[in-house]
């Protein structure tokens, strides 16, 4: 990166040492002023990678958005340091040919790191695609069934419902269970499910981002030749997953692993090659698998960012360690809600509460606007629940530091003390 650009008025203070940019400012604390008491919580990066960068986090907020969402601070800083001139190539990753050796090394490393993180076997293809998870709602039936084929959808929230509705255009899907009448608060027992013995696949949304319902284990299709398909957009890489239980996993990147614009598909190779005739070339998984996700120009910069996140997750000790951190963060937030004597309430059944998206309501719903305003003053943003459910929602993906959740919990207790 050129020294001049770093010396711009708002640029971080950097010193270049042996190719590594070292931040000179100390890790800061974010003071949090409320009328009842003052508290101060450290907002240092969650990752181990503190040797190369130190935080400038006084400039950043705690972003509880559901996606696009907060990214690991050290990943952003690394991307910043490589933005202008990637590894001495004389150009930014944004300017590189997707067919050149530099970008190839980036996409190959991203794939290899993701394979080690999730322990993805060789008989699965990993695809970096565009069009978001919404495009996969169509691509999945187009690739896995003929127009008349039966498939099952287990609907535990509005994303699963959207996937089902899209599939109706391309095959014969049936909702075998829906939590809609109960406002999506649970996952059913798998024993009583009326699974179709001929269904080509069983589709689930592993974590419903809006309602905060997360599968903790997975149903098995009744058809021995059928496969389980999961939309993992909002809990991808948040915990270890046994990929071999699935025929296909898809996930938009913009929650846990990168910016929007990249959608990752992990698909068992034997399922490829049977796409419906009318399938657009861009939705045919085999075309992308045969071309290592380089059939056309892929979302290069997004893939690079995902690669940096994968590298960071590996440095943190892999997904077992990441899951422990996520359990701890979610634990303190759900406890605060449950111990609030009804001031805050999370409607989701305890056994399937999401580690990623924590929806909650205020008993005095008229205080919602003030809650959001006060939180924002304390640099905690995007806590508003989805427009279809109201209330609040704290999305606490991998990159949300423990300090962010601690600060939110302290704020919630303080807000309650003021308004109970
Ligand atoms: N599935 C889930 C679980 C989601 O959370 C979202 C986005 N919030 C989508 C699908 C749609 O993703 P995209 O906007 O990338 O198409």
pTM of the full predicted structure? 0.88
Contacts (Cβ under 8 Å, ≥6 apart) of 206: 214, 215, 218, 230, 231, 232, 235
Identify the residue whose C-alpha is closest to ligand 1 atom 14: 132
Distance CA 251, CA 258 (A): 11
If one residue of 128, 131, 134, 232 were mutated to test the ligand 1 pocket, choosing by the most ligand atoms within 8 A of its CB, it would be 134
Distance 322 CA to ligand 1 centre (A): 22
Burial, 66: exposed, middle or buried (Cβ in 10 Å; 0-12, 13-18, 19+)? buried
If one residue of 68, 69, 133 were mutated to test the ligand 1 pocket, choosing by the most ligand atoms within 8 A of its CB, it would be 133
Q: How many CA atoms lie within 13 A of 347 on its CB side?
A: 18
pLDDT of residue 57: 64
pLDDT of residue 420: 86
pLDDT of residue 3: 35
- Other beta carbons within 10 angstroms of residue 246's beta carbon come to 22
Active-site residue list: 159, 231, 255
Per-residue pLDDT tens, the chain, 420 aa: give them: 333 333 333 334 333 333 333 333 333 333 333 333 333 333 344 444 443 444 546 789 999 999 999 999 999 999 999 999 999 999 999 999 999 999 999 999 999 999 999 999 999 999 999 999 999 999 999 999 999 999 999 999 999 999 999 999 999 999 999 999 999 999 999 999 999 999 999 999 999 999 999 999 999 999 999 999 999 999 999 999 999 999 999 999 999 999 999 999 999 999 999 999 999 999 999 999 999 999 999 999 999 999 999 999 999 999 999 999 999 999 999 999 999 999 999 999 999 999 999 999 999 999 999 999 999 999 999 999 998 888 999 999 999 999 999 999 999 999 999 998
Give the three-state DSSP class for 328.
helix
Q: Which residues contact ligand 1 via a Cβ below 6 A?
A: 67, 132-134, 159, 205, 209, 231, 233-234, 252
Q: In what order do the strands lie in the sheet containing 201-205?
A: 124-129, 263-268, 248-252, 227-231, 201-205, 150-155, 172-178
pLDDT of residue 343: 98
Burial, 87: exposed, middle or buried (Cβ in 10 Å; 0-12, 13-18, 19+)? exposed
pLDDT of residue 330: 98
CA distance to 16, 66, 354, 371, per residue, from 211 (Å): 46, 11, 9, 20
Lookup: tokens for 90: 């004389």
CATH fit for domain 75-316, picks 2.115.10.20, 3.40.640.10, 3.30.2290.10, 1.10.238.10:
3.40.640.10
Atom of ligand 1 nearest to the CA of 254: 15
Distance CA 65, CA 85 (A): 31
Distance 252 CA to ligand 1 centre (A): 6
Residue whose C-alpha is closest to residue 236's, from 73, 84, 377, 356: 356
Give the strand pairing for 201-205 and 207-208. unpaired
Domain parsing of the chain, residue ranges:
75-316, 318-419
Distance 97 CA to ligand 1 centre (A): 29
∠ Cα 16 17 21 (to 5°): 50
Residue whose C-alpha is closest to residue 414's, from 117, 43, 38: 38
- Domain 318-419 sits in CATH 3.30.2130.10: no
Identify the residue whose C-alpha is closest to ligand 1 atom 12: 133
Atom of ligand 1 nearest to the CA of 208: 3
**Across-strand partners of 15?**
22
Residue whose C-alpha is closest to residue 22's, from 93, 88, 87, 81: 81
Distance 30 CA to ligand 1 centre (A): 32
Distance 255 CA to ligand 1 centre (A): 9
Distance CA 241, CA 249 (A): 10
> In angstroms, how far apart are the furthest CA atoms of the chain?
65
Residue that the structure tokens 């705690």 belong to:
62
Give the three-state DSSP class for 61.
coil
């Amino acid at each position: 990166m050129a020294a001049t650009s770093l010396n711009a008025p708002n640029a971080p203070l950097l010193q270049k040492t042996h190719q590594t940019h070292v931040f000179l400012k100390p890790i800061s604390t974010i003071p949090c002023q409320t009328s009842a008491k003052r508290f101060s919580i450290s907002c240092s990066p969650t990752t181990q990678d503190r040797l190369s960068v130190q935080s400038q986090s006084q400039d950043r907020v705690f972003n509880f958005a559901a996606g696009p969402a907060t990214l690991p601070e050290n990943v952003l800083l690394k991307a910043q340091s490589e933005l202008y001139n990637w590894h001495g190539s004389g150009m930014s990753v944004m300017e590189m040919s997707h067919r050149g050796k530099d970008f190839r090394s980036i996409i190959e490393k991203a794939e290899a790191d993701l394979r080690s993180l999730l322990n993805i076997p060789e008989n699965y293809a990993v695809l970096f695609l565009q069009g978001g998870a919404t495009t996969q709602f169509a691509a999945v039936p187009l690739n896995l069934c003929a127009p008349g084929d039966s498939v099952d959808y287990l609907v535990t929230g509005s994303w699963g419902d959207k996937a089902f509705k899209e599939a109706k255009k391309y095959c014969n899907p049936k909702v075998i269970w829906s939590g809609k009448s109960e406002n999506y608060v649970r996952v059913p027992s798998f024993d009583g499910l009326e699974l179709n013995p001929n269904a080509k696949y069983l589709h689930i949304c592993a974590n419903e981002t809006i309602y905060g319902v997360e599968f903790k284990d997975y149903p098995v299709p009744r058809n021995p030749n059928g496969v389980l398909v999961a939309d993992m957009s909002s809990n991808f890489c948040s915990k270890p997953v046994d990929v071999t239980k699935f025929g296909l996993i898809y996930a938009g990147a913009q929650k846990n692993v990168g910016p929007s614009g990249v959608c990752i598909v992990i698909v068992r190779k034997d399922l490829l090659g049977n796409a419906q005739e009318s399938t657009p070339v861009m939705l045919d998984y085999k075309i992308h698998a045969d071309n290592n996700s380089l059939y056309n120009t892929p979302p290069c910069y997004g893939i690079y960012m995902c690669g940096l996140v994968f590298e960071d997750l590996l440095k943190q000790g892999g997904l077992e360690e990441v899951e422990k951190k996520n359990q701890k963060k979610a634990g303190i937030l759900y406890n605060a809600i449950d111990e609030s004597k009804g001031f805050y309430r999370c409607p989701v059944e305890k056994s399937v509460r999401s580690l990623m998206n924590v929806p909650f309501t205020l008993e005095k719903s008229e205080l919602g606007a003030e809650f959001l305003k006060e939180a924002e003053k304390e640099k905690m943003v995007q806590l508003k629940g989805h427009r279809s459910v109201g209330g609040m929602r704290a999305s606490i993906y991998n990159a949300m530091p423990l300090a962010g959740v601690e600060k939110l919990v302290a704020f919630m207790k303080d807000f309650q003390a003021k308004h109970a």
